[in-house]
Amino acid sequence: MATVADLRYGQKGIIKDFTEHILPIKLLELGCLPGNSVELLQIAPLNDPIYINLSGSHLAIRRSLAELIELEIIEETQAK
Amino acid sequence: MSKNINVALIGNPNTGKTSVFNQLTGLKQKVGNYPGITVEKKEGVCKLPRGVKAHILDLPGTYSLNTTSLDESLVVELLLNKNDKDYPDVAVVISDVENLKRNLLLFTQIKDLKIPTILVVNMADRMDRKGISLDVEAMEKKFDTKIALVSTRKNTGIERIKELIADYKSISSRPILDPTRISPEYFDRLKKTFPQEDLYKLWLVITQDVNFMPIEKKRIQDATDFSTKSKDDLKKLQHKETVLRYQLINNILKETYKVDFMAAKGLRASLDKILTHKIFGYLIFFAILLLIFQAIFDWSGYPMDFIDEQFAMAAEWIKNTLPPGVFTDLLAEGIIAGIGGIVIFIPQIAFLFLFISLLEESGYMSRVVFLMDRLMRPFGLSGKSVVPLISGNACAIPAIMATRTIENWKERLITILVTPFTTCSARLPVYLILIALVIPEGTVLGLSYQALTLMLLYLIGFGMALLSAMVLNKILKIKSRSIFMVEMPTYRLPLLKNVVYTVIEKTKSFVLGAGKIILAISIVLWFLGSNGYSEDFQDADRIVTERIENEGLSIYSKNYIQNNVASYRESVEAEGMSPSALQDSIQVLTTELSERAVAQEIASYKLKHSYIGQAGKAFEPIVKPLGYDWKIGIAVLTSFAAREVFVGTLATIYSVGSDEEETIKNRMAAELDDSGKPLFNLASGISLMLFYAFAMQCMSTLAIVKRETNSWKWPMIQLGFMSVFAYIIALIAYQILI
Ligand SMILES: Nc1nc2c(ncn2[C@@H]2O[C@H](COP(=O)(O)OP(=O)(O)OP(=O)(O)O)[C@@H](O)[C@H]2O)c(=O)[nH]1
Ligand SMILES: [Mg+2]
């Protein structure tokens, strides 16, 4: 199963429906809800943390947290 | 008729709450483009239309009423406690037009507490750039509220906020989401158990994180034993609530909020590519730090020299104008010198605050957090610890306050404990004067030894902070789960007004705070220095005169006469005076100087046997191994109130013991030890600097640590450990170098 931690530079994904309620509530409040998109913007030196655009919220989160967010990777389209 | 209305400004972090607060109240609280600038409640008063007065409360930002960190929990505590004297009659939710959806989540929660709630959509000036359009009227209807479209930058919409607040009675306090939708079965039972209580409020109390609201939570559990749900189940329901709220918001925004992505332009993406780049990111950060150093230690030299001269002139002027006497001496030599010792650092402190404020206002600080997080983790710190560690270079007090945004208690505690090692601006006066005295002037690779020493002292402070963090990380057994998350705000051109205010306010409070302590200490020291009870003190005149008759003048006095004569000779020789006239005038000068030297020896003998002298002598054995005499010992001791009094204390002590008008630095350079060598030499100078680098000499910091950790344990450990450590290091340094 792909997670946010698997995204490559500039790649996007759509958050999957999650049944397990392991995600911190704060993430949900910032827009981490099923169906919303996540885009990876930057990876910090030493590979951690990562900088994402979570349906409009620009956030840095640690990899350990990113691994909890399951998603479906969509290849980014050219039109932007 | 006038009535006071309680107004609370609430909103997500970094949406401009404090900016609105400042506009409403005319106050100048700190504003910055970093989530978590405000970490405390701040109050102000605002005059409204029709003679109404409002009592406005600025609060820390929070993403929702489900709190996870200390600054956020302030908001919830206020809203859940109807008896709080600040409990709002009306809540003003400040939102950022670019993140409206997320901001509205909090809005709906507050509205559900049945508080009349006004929605402020701030940063309206950015709508064009971002291609955003809003149907305000439709939104007002759907959200059942009144909306003010505001830009604090362009100063629009503020009057509308005032109007709405004054008219708060007409604002709806109907809830927007029926809480039973979260879980019909659960809320049904809640209702049965607590028929009196408001359901949503009850729900919030139950779900508050245990760490933050122990009292409230206990009350309810004890009363009823309402433990029908496990923590996991509650969390599941919280998730459900969030999803429901977002559904509601999305449905409304779909019709009222439009973003034209084609019109949107942003610097963020391209700037972030460089500023958070794996290699360039670090290089740029490092270059910025170097620039700050350069400014503080090089550019500020010019204004500092200027200030130094002004103070020397002021002291001179007072001596010449006021009638000679005890009071004049105290004023000119103790107080003016002491205050001058602080004022001279205004340029450096202002530069420091200027840079920190620019980093925060531009939005760069969050990028630093992002870059540094991984590097800080082995030390038990988080990327967010970097902000306190950087601003600790200005002052540990705001730095320790800034740790409130760190969610993880262990990381936060470690940050609090190690921050006082960073080189705060109060250490600068001590370092700079000592460096000027004991470090030679040459250069290596284009860098002066003196600048390098200072740089090294900063690195030592920072290194020590990291090292002790690592140790603490090993020995502290605290389990706390952490979710590290930091928002990256859009870059903003720093608002000159905000930056200037911050710099002025911070500098002012530094000078005034230090000024007060120095004034008090100078007066006390001066009194203790010019009075004594022993026979030695009373009979000083006779004793010293007799000694000089028998043994001649001291080495110090001989040097003093020789130097003066030499420089006199040089100056007149240039004028071409005849040898015999020269001989005569030197004769006259020497007699004059000897008289003065005798007077000075009497004065310093008196000082030695005054109250302060005797106290110092008693203390001397402790500091002797570090290479200090009793005067330095007293200065070190008084520095435990605040480091910056070091120079002032020495100024006062020296001035009591002499009647020469000299800069404090020259006075220190002239000081000799028992064997006739300069007292401030490389060994004792380095030992002193290291002592100041490590010792916990600041009462205000201890007080703030007590407040933030809620126990005396940690500040006492800090005081004990840091001071003993400082002593040992200073001892080793002196014994090696001597
Ligand atoms: N463009 C624009 N920027 C604004 C406006 N209002 C505030 N800002 C900027 O937004 C940033 C945050 O402002 P603050 O007033 O500190 O926000 P806050 O909500 O008090 O933030 P915290 O206390 O950290 O939660 C600052 O850089 C302000 O200069 C506005 O109307 N337009
Ligand atoms: Mg604020």
What does DSSP assign to residue B28? -
Q: Look at A30 and B102 and tell me if their CB atoms are within 8 Å.
A: yes
The reported pLDDT for the residue numbered B482 is 66
Task: Mark yes or no for CB contact B242/A45 under 8 Å.
Answer: no
* Domain range annotation of chain B: 1-263, 280-299+345-429+473-513, 517-531+610-737
Mean predicted confidence (pLDDT) in B208-219: 44
CB contact under 8 A, A60 and B232: no
Round to whole Å and give the CA distance between B356 and B15. Answer: 20
In this complex, which of A21, A41, A57 lies closest to B102 when CB atoms are compared? Answer: A57
Residue B468 confidence (pLDDT): 94
Residue B485 sits at the chain A interface (C-beta within 8 Å): yes
Q: Which is it for strands B90-96 and B4-11: parallel, antiparallel or unpaired?
A: parallel
Contacts of B103 in chain A (CB under 8 A): none
Mutate which: A58, A68, A69, A77, vs B, most B CBs within 10 A: A58
Query: How far, in Å, from the CA of B97 to the mean position of ligand 2?
Result: 17
Residues listed for chain A: 80
Residues having CB closer than 6 A to ligand 1 are: B 11, 13-19, 31-33, 35-38, 60-61, 122-123, 125-126, 151-153, 361, 492, 495, 498
Model pLDDT, residue B214: 38
Residues of A in contact with B98 (CB under 8 A): 56
pLDDT at B265 over 70: no
Q: What is the best residue among B19, B75, B102, B128 to mutate for testing ligand 1's pocket, by most ligand atoms within 8 Å of CB?
A: B19
**Cα-based angle B142, B147, B148 (whole degrees, multiple of 5):** 160
Per DSSP, the three-state class of A54 is strand
Residues B414, B476: contact at Cβ < 8 Å?
A: yes
Lowest mean pLDDT among A7-11, A31-35, B194-198, B504-508: B194-198
A21 — contact with chain B (CB < 8 Å)? yes
For B3-7, B466-470, B685-689, B717-721, which range has the lowest pLDDT when averaged over its residues? B3-7
pLDDT (0 to 100) of residue B218: 42
Average pLDDT over every residue of B285-301: 79
What is the model's pLDDT at position A19?
Answer: 61
Contacts of A23 in chain B (CB under 8 A): 239
Give pLDDT, residue B236. 82
Q: Please, what's the b/e burial string for B173-185 (b: 16 or more CB within 10 A of its CB; e: otherwise)? A: bebbbebeebbee
Report which protein residue has its CA nearest ligand 1's atom 30: B123
Which atom of ligand 1 is least distant from the CA of B360? Answer: 27
Handedness of CA B238, B240, B241, B246 (dihedral sign): positive
Share the mean pLDDT of chain B.
Answer: 84
Q: Closest Cα of chain A to B392: distance in Å? A: 24
Question: Distance, CA B20 to ligand 1 centroid (Å)?
Answer: 8
The rounded Å distance from CA B555 to ligand 1 centre is: 64
A35 touches chain B (CB under 8 A): no
Higher pLDDT pick, B36 / B7: B7
CB A40, CB A50: distance < 8 Å:
yes
Residue B219 has pLDDT above 60, yes or no: no
Atom of ligand 1 nearest to the CA of B492: 27
Task: Determine the average pLDDT of the residues in B409-423.
Answer: 92
- Rounded Cα distance between B515 and B644, Å, is 9
Q: Cα(B279)–Cα(B672) distance, rounded to whole angstroms?
A: 52
Of B272, B282, B487, the CB nearest to A41: B272
Task: Flag if A59 and B66 touch (Cβ within 8 Å).
Answer: no
| Rounded CA separation B679/B677 (Å) | 6
Looking at the domain A4-75, which fold is it?
Answer: SH3 type barrels. (2.30.30)
- B667-684: burial string, b at 16+ Cβ within 10 Å, e else: bbebbeeeeeebbbbbbb
Whether chain A has a CB inside 8 Å of the CB on B527: the answer is no
Q: Probe ligand 1: pick from B9, B10, B14, max atoms within 8 Å of CB?
A: B14
* pLDDT level of residue B715 (50, 70, 90 thresholds): very high
Q: Using a CB cutoff of 5 Å, list residues around ligand 2, an ion.
A: B 17-18, 37-38
Q: Which residues of B120-147 are buried (b: 16+ CB within 10 A; e: fewer)?
A: bbbbbebbeebebebeeeebeebbebbb
pTM score: 0.79
Q: Name the CATH topology of B1-263.
A: Rossmann fold (3.40.50)
Q: Is A41 an 8 Å CB contact of chain B?
A: yes
β-pair type (B90-96, B117-122): parallel
Span from the CA of B709 to the centroid of ligand 2 (angstroms): 22
Ligand in closest contact with the CA of B405: 1
Residue B120's pLDDT band, with cuts at 50, 70 and 90, is very high
Give contacts of A59 with chain B, Cβ < 8 Å.
485-488
| pLDDT surpassing 50 at residue B222 | no
Residue B544 contacts residue B601 (beta carbons within 8 Å): yes
Question: Quick check: B223 pLDDT over 50?
Answer: no
Question: Considering only alpha carbons, which residue of chain B is nearest residue A27?
Answer: B485
Does the distance separating the beta carbons of A31 and B373 come in below 8 Å? no
Torsion angle of C-alpha atoms B285, B288, B292, B293, degrees rounded to 10: 70
Write out residues 347-386 of B within 8 Å (CB-CB) of A.
366, 369-371, 373-375, 383
Question: Which residue out of B31, B42, B58 has the highest number of ligand 1 atoms within 8 Å of its CB and is therefore the one to mutate?
Answer: B31
For residue B486, list chain A residues with Cβ-Cβ distance below 8 A: 59-60
- Asked if A40 and A8 touch (Cβ cutoff 8 Å), the reply is yes
Reported as a pLDDT band with limits 50, 70 and 90, residue B385 is very high
Name the B residues in 659-698 with CB < 8 Å from any A CB: none
Which chain B residues in 96-135 lie under 8 Å from chain A, judged by CB atoms? 98-99, 101-102, 105
Confidence of residue B235 (pLDDT cuts 50, 70, 90): confident
Q: From the list B273, B276, B488, which residue is nearest A59 (CB)?
A: B488
Maximum average pLDDT range among B576-590, B599-613, B702-716: B702-716
How does pLDDT run across B629-647, given as a tens digit for each residue? 888 998 898 888 888 888 8
pLDDT band at B216 (very low <50, low <70, confident <90, very high): very low
Mean pLDDT for B202-212 is: 67
Alpha-carbon gap: B208 to the closest alpha carbon of chain A (Å): 12
Q: B353: distance to nearest CA of chain A, Å?
A: 26
- The ipTM of this complex is 0.91
Q: Minimal Cα–Cα distance from B236 to chain A, Å?
A: 6
Average pLDDT over residues B211-219: 40
A60 touches chain B (CB under 8 A): yes
Smallest Cβ–Cβ distance between A56 and the set B101, B374, B489 belongs to B101
List strand residue ranges (DSSP E) for B369-487, in order: 443-444, 447-448, 485-487
Length of chain B counted residue by residue: 738
Look at residue B1 in the predicted model and tell me its pLDDT.
40
How large is the average pLDDT for residues B401-426? 88
Q: Show Cβ contacts of residue B678 under 8 Å, excluding neighbours closer than 6 positions.
A: B669, B671, B672
Q: Which residue has the higher pLDDT, B198 or B510?
A: B198
Question: What distance in Å separates the CA atoms of residue B331 and residue B318, rounded to the nearest whole number?
Answer: 8
For the stretch B718-721, contacts whose Cβ atoms lie closer than 8 Å and that sit 24 or more positions apart, written own/partner, are B718/B417, B718/B420, B721/B696
Where would I find the H helices in B197-325? 199-207, 214-224, 231-256, 268-275, 280-294, 301-321
